């Protein structure tokens, strides 16, 4: 289980934003366009530094977003902890 003290230092992601983060990760180098139903979540993710928007309006995952996706969506941190 994650340390509760560390958990509170991370801004909470709503379920819809976690799903948008996952779709953003799946989009890879193509990114996600604006105008999709998850645009408000993508904007929130960009505000938290988990995504960035390029000059053409497409959203891309950042390194911080990739790390957050691994720990919160894929739960990789918990898997490593359980194996130890």
Measuring CA to CA, which residue among 46, 36, 34, 38 is closest to residue 15? Answer: 38
pLDDT tens per residue, range 43-75:
999 999 999 999 999 999 999 999 999 988 888
Identify which has the larger pLDDT, 44 or 78. 44
pLDDT of residue 1: 46
- Number of folded domains in the chain? 1
Q: Tell me, what CATH number does 50's domain have?
A: 1.10.10
35: left (phi over 0), alpha (psi -120 to 50) or beta: left
Query: Could you list the residue range(s) of the whole structural domain that residue 64 is in?
Result: 4-83
């Amino acid at each position: 289980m994650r340390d509760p003290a560390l958990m509170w230092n991370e801004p909470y992601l709503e379920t819809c934003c976690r799903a948008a983060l996952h779709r953003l990760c799946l989009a890879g180098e193509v990114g996600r366009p604006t105008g999709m139903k998850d645009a408000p979540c993508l904007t929130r993710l960009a505000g938290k530094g988990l995504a960035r928007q390029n000059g053409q309006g497409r959203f891309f995952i950042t390194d911080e977003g990739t790390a957050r996706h691994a720990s919160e969506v894929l739960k990789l941190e918990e898997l490593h902890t359980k194996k130890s």
